[in-house]
Structure 1
């Protein structure tokens, strides 16, 4: 069995955007990554449409997702 060490392995972009929106909220997400699909009438659907066509923005979203995972791990460790 080949298991990937990549935390993004097997995750859809939709799952990543949804998790970020749930964790940070759309307003903070728009402040952390200044793209219109997070700032003006944000939705998962509009974000996916933009991010699939924009590699630099997708990279920022994936990076923020990894940061969120580290934050969650740190918070859980302190419990």
Structure 2
């Protein structure tokens, strides 16, 4: 039996198991701070940006976190449609439950 399986408590939630930090790190790697600040115009992305200051703000501000989550989902969906991101590209430690499960399934075949 496979030791890493998706959590069955939220099977339809694509963000389940993905931390805010992992989302933010992915977006910064994908867009850089300047383009991220252009896409989501918030102070913590535009003035002396850092992961820690952005996390503090996003954890307190629901509307901003929702925008980050939406951009993350849209970006991942686009990358997967274009074949730019595969489950093998995502490190196990920061991978979501879904990424780890996809990797395990693809390795079995």
TM, length-normalised to structure 1: 0.90
Higher RCO (Cα < 8 Å, 6 or more apart): 2
1:73 Cα deviation from its structure 2 partner: 1.2
More deviation, 48-57/4-13:
4-13
Structure 1 counterpart of 2:76: 69
What is the correspondence of 1:21-60 to structure 2 with a 5 Å cutoff?
21-60=28-67
**What's the TM-score once normalised by structure 2's chain length?**
0.66
Q: Which runs of 5+ in 1 are unaligned?
A: none
Aligned to 1:15: 22
> How far apart are residue 5 of structure 1 and its match?
2.8
1:11, 1:40 → 2: CA distance? 26
SS state at 1:76 partner: coil
Segments ≥4 residues shifted beyond 4 Å: none
Aligned length: 77
**SS of the residue 1:8 aligns to:** coil
| Cα distance in structure 2, aligned partners of 1:39 and 1:33 | 9
